[in-house]
Amino acid sequence: MEKAATERAEDYLEVIYDLISKKGYARIVEIAERLNVRPPTVTEMVKKLSEKGLLVHERYRGFTLTEEGERIAKAVQRRHETIANFLMILGVDKEIAEQDACRIEHNLHPMTLERFTKFVEFVQNAPQDPEWLEHFEHYVKTGEHKCKVIKENTEQ
Ligand code: MN
């Protein structure tokens, strides 16, 4: 698949997987809503995905992802969560972080993704709220480095 087609496929698998995990099923109309496309576009795409062996569409059961389809969907979901968490650590609002995660999630170099993952882990597993993160927030709000002030205080 060419690059744009791969991205599109990943978006579909991600949404279908999410709908199935949350509701137990995915319907064309809901997929269309989530991806901001028209239902006929969804119908066309799911046909392609089913031809590639990534999902199965049965009249009464609706959609199920194949093992390979689910593997891809889970990988995209993991990338999405990592990126969204990273952006939220930086102070980006959840809604924007989620939107941007979907834009970025397809195109990251594995090394960048690995560092994002480590960084998110590092912050989330910190025994206390990292002080430097507060410093960063202070810097965002005021444009000033807080650590200078602290240094001066300890010198007194
Ligand atoms: Mn996404």
Distance (angstroms) between ligand 1 centre and the Cα of 84 equals: 9
pLDDT at 66: 97
Percent of the chain with pLDDT over 70: 92
Distance (angstroms) between ligand 1 centre and the Cα of 81 equals: 8
Give per-residue pLDDT as tens, 106-118: 989 999 999 999 9
Percent of the chain with pLDDT over 90: 70
Query: Token digits for 130?
Result: 């990292």
Is residue 53 pLDDT above 70, yes or no?
Answer: yes
Distance (angstroms) between ligand 1 centre and the Cα of 154 equals: 46
Distance (angstroms) between ligand 1 centre and the Cα of 59 equals: 27
Give per-residue pLDDT as tens, 28-40: 999 999 999 999 9
The number of helices, as runs of H, and strands, as runs of E, in the chain is 8, 2
How many angstroms separate the CA atoms of 95 and 136, rounded?
A: 21
Give per-residue pLDDT as tens, 55-112: 998 887 788 999 999 999 999 999 999 999 999 999 999 999 999 999 999 989 999 9
If you average pLDDT over every residue of the chain, what do you get?
90
**Ligand 1 ion local residues (Cβ < 5 A):** 80, 102
| H helix or E strand, kind and range, residue 63 | strand 62-65
In angstroms, how far is the first alpha carbon of the chain from the final one? 65
Task: Enter the pTM of the model.
Answer: 0.80
Question: Residue range 30-54: average pLDDT?
Answer: 95
CA distances from 131 to 68, 127, 136, 148 (A): 42, 11, 9, 14
Residue bearing the bigger pLDDT, 84 or 129: 84
Query: Token digits for 16?
Result: 């279908």
How many angstroms separate the CA atoms of 32 and 22, rounded?
A: 17
Q: How confident is the model at residue 152 (pLDDT cuts 50, 70, 90)?
A: low
Distance (angstroms) between ligand 1 centre and the Cα of 82 equals: 10
